Copies of this chain bind each other. A is one copy, B any other.
Amino acid sequence: MFWAVALAAPAFAQTDPLPSWNAGHAKARVVAFVTAVVEPGGKHYVPPGERIATFDNDGTLWAEQPMYFQFMFMLDRVKALAPQHPEWKSQEPFASVLKGDIKAALGGGERAVEEIMMATHAGMTTDAFEQTVKEWMATARHPVTRRPYTEMVYQPMLELLGYLRANGFKTYITSGGGVEFMRPWTEKVYGIPPEQVIGSSIRTKYEVRDGKPELVRLPEIDFIDDKAGKPVGIHKFIGKRPIAAFGNSDGDFQMLEWVTSALGPRLGLIVRHDDAEREFAYDRKSHIGRLDRALDEAGPRGWTVVSMKDDWKVIFAPPR
């Protein structure tokens, strides 16, 4: 694309908006896209209200290995709640979790995960759950790096979020993770306020207890924001088709497809985990963040594949 390279030049000439990105195709593509859509009167101009960008979270904005961080939260909650549930000592999958045998706990498959999820994510008010998430985020540490989970975020992606917002984009999270697990900290960490976080959810119920209104979290799934659920969630919560989407796995395929198949300038980008030294390396065979079909189709569909190894100068954000 000649115009892309040509338009990118002025932005570089001033201040580099993406200092943690190495020069290369990925960075040039991002800058060319942004420069083109903001140019008043330009052929590819997009008005600010339509500059919507959606980001997957796990593996795209922060790490997801060796396990989804929300899964770590779940396991910690089982341990914290165990004194109130003496029956868990002999009841699977809880008994195995309490013994530290995660593999055995997961022997029950999706049903086991859902059982642990509901036991730790439902039954309390939304306020109480928010408080629990905040406390956990403030104290829990990643098992490999020993850093707080909120520091396991990718510096180049933080720059990208800021760069898009500085150019009039509204940035959204569209994650398979729980929306109420993310909202308590996304504004501080990513600059994304609660109302711009879309995720999976369980139902809530409005109740007035002793004259005090509360929202209570029920053990029933409301919405799964993954795969074909992502375009559905985007439409449900935003009601507009984004012009840019960012993901890292086949769970983001339909979001990328939905966003980039519309007319007009579109950006689809995949973060590829190929840096075993500085982060983790995994793709087609991984049980978490599997990247297979989306990697095959990235080329023909014009999606930009970012190599964490080659395209990023640093991986994680510095400690706050």
| A interface list, Cβ under 8 A from B | 49, 126, 170, 179-180, 183, 187, 193-195, 197, 201, 204-206, 208, 212-213, 215, 222, 228-229, 231-232, 235-240, 254, 257-258, 261
Complex Cα spacing A49 to B162, Å: 18
Residues of B within 8 A of A258 (CB): 206, 213
How near does chain B come to A18, taking the closest CB pair, in angstroms? 26
B195 touches A257 (CB 8 A): no
Residues of B within 8 A of A235 (CB): 126, 204, 215
Closest to A239 in B: B194
Complex Cα spacing A212 to B262, Å: 9
B257 touches A231 (CB 8 A): no
A261 touches B193 (CB 8 A): no
Residues of B within 8 A of A215 (CB): 231-232, 235
Residues of B within 8 A of A254 (CB): 206, 213
Closest to A130 in B: B239
Partner of A201, one of B49, B208, B212, B236: B236
Partner of A239, one of B183, B206, B213, B231: B183
A212 touches B126 (CB 8 A): no
Residues of B within 8 A of A183 (CB): 239
Residues of B within 8 A of A197 (CB): 239
Complex Cα spacing A215 to B179, Å: 22
Complex Cα spacing A236 to B212, Å: 19
Residues of B within 8 A of A222 (CB): 236
A238 touches B195 (CB 8 A): yes
Residues of B within 8 A of A201 (CB): 236
How near does chain B come to A235, taking the closest CB pair, in angstroms? 5
How near does chain B come to A51, taking the closest CB pair, in angstroms? 12
A239 touches B205 (CB 8 A): no
Complex Cα spacing A258 to B204, Å: 14
Complex Cα spacing A208 to B254, Å: 10
A193 touches B232 (CB 8 A): no
Complex Cα spacing A170 to B170, Å: 14
Residues of B within 8 A of A179 (CB): 236, 239
B206 touches A231 (CB 8 A): yes
B261 touches A195 (CB 8 A): no
Complex Cα spacing A223 to B143, Å: 39
A213 touches B126 (CB 8 A): no
Partner of A238, one of B194, B228, B231: B194
* 5 residue pairs bridging A and B, Cβ less than 8 Å apart: A194-B238, A194-B240, A195-B237, A206-B231, A213-B254
Complex Cα spacing A190 to B74, Å: 43
Residues of B within 8 A of A195 (CB): 170, 237-240
Residues of B within 8 A of A229 (CB): 206
